[in-house]
Amino acid sequence: MSKYESEISRRRTFAIISHPDAGKTTLTEKFLLYGGAIAQAGVVKGKKNSRAATSDWMEIEKQRGISVTSSVMQFQYEGFCINILDTPGHQDFSEDTYRTLMAADSAVMVIDAAKGVEAQTRKLFKVCAMRDIPIFTFINKMDREARDSFELLEELEKELGIETYPVNWPIGCGKDFKGVYDRDSRKIIHFTSNGGAKAATATEVELGDPNLDDLITPQLHQQLTDEIELLDGAAAEFDLDRVRHGKLSPVFFGSALTNFGVEPFLEHFLRMTTAPLPRTAGDTLIDSLDDNFSAFVFKIQANMNKAHRDRIAFMRIVSGKFEADKEVYHVQGGKKIRLSRPQQLMAAEREIIEEAYAGDIIGVFDPGIFSIGDTLCAPGKKFKFDPIPTFAPEHFRRVRSLDTMKRKQFLKGMEQIAQEGAIQIFKTPYSGMEEVIVGVVGTLQFDVLEYRLKNEYNVDLYMEGLPYEYLRWIETEDGEPVKEEDLILGDGVKLVEDYKGNQLLLFATQWAINWTDERNKQLTLLEFGGGWQR
Annotated binding site for GTP: 18-25, 86-90, 140-143
Measure the CA–CA gap between 52 and 45, rounded to whole angstroms. 8
Residues 6 or more apart whose CB falls under 8 angstroms from that of 486 comprise none
Measure the CA–CA gap between 231 and 229, rounded to whole angstroms. 5
**C-alpha distances out from residue 509 to 204, 490, 495, 506, Å:** 57, 11, 15, 9
3-state helix, strand, coil in the chain (%, to 5): 30, 30, 40
Measure the CA–CA gap between 509 and 490, rounded to whole angstroms. 11
Q: How many residues does the chain have?
A: 534
Residues of each annotated binding site = 18-25, 86-90, 140-143
Enumerate the H helices of 93-148 as residue ranges.
94-101, 119-131
Enter the DSSP assignment of 112.
Answer: E
Measure the CA–CA gap between 301 and 332, rounded to whole angstroms. 19
Residues 6 or more apart whose CB falls under 8 angstroms from that of 482 comprise 474, 476, 495, 503, 522, 523
Residues 6 or more apart whose CB falls under 8 angstroms from that of 208 comprise none
Helix or strand holding residue 417 (H, E): helix 407-420
CB 436 within 8 A of CB 469: no
Phi, psi at 143, each rounded to 5°? -80, 0
Tally of CA atoms within 13 A in the half-sphere of 333 that contains its CB: 20
Q: Pick the closest to residue 27 from 110, 144, 151, 134 (CA basis).
A: 110
Helix (H, G, I), strand (E, B) or coil at 470: strand
Measure the CA–CA gap between 471 and 457, rounded to whole angstroms. 29
